[in-house]
């Protein structure tokens, strides 16, 4: 999966336009959200998404960390994000996908991946 960063600008119909374009192209949005003038969407095929929107609409394509949390245990987000902070990893974006995975964009992908792997190993 890939996270797309899309600048929405100040257009009232920007989200509708993106959703319609993705729909016509068969691009499924697997998670994400809009945060002010910026949207983040999780997709399987970033090339198809870029083709659907046209040049310059997607400002970044990144591979996020995807972490499964124990949904029945309160405090999971706090515990995982504390481990990231303690490892010096800055979380830039955090949201959930449609399957209940936590999606993280971090400033240091390698260090973030180590923390994520240790978290998963601890749960196993």
Give the CATH number for residue 118. 3.30.70
What pLDDT does 4 receive? 98
What pLDDT does 100 receive? 87
**Same-domain check for residues 51 and 19:** yes
Structurally, how many domains does the chain consist of? 2
**Same-domain check for residues 19 and 56:** yes
What's 11's domain CATH number?
3.30.70.260
**Same-domain check for residues 58 and 72:** no
- Mind listing the pLDDT tens digit for each residue in 11-37? 899 999 999 999 999 999 999 999 889
Residue 5 and residue 66: Cα distance in Å, rounded?
17
Both tokens assigned to 85: 């902070």
**Same-domain check for residues 81 and 56:** no
Q: Which residues of the chain have pLDDT under 50?
A: none
pTM of the model: 0.91
What pLDDT does 70 receive? 82
Domain span at residue 110 reads: 65-123
Residues in the chain: 124
């Amino acid at each position: 999966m890939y996270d797309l960063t899309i600048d929405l600008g100040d257009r009232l119909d920007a989200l509708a336009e993106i959703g319609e374009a993705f729909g016509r192209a068969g691009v499924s949005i697997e998670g994400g959200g809009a945060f002010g003038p910026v949207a983040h969407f999780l997709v399987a095929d970033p090339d198809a998404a870029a083709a659907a929107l046209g040049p310059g609409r997607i400002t970044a394509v990144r591979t996020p960390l995807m972490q499964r949390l124990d949904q029945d245990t309160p405090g999971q987000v706090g515990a995982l994000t504390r481990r990231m902070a303690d490892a010096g990893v800055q979380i830039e974006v955090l949201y959930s996908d449609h399957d209940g995975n936590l999606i993280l964009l971090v400033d240091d992908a390698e260090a973030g991946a180590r923390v994520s792997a240790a978290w998963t190993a601890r749960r196993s």
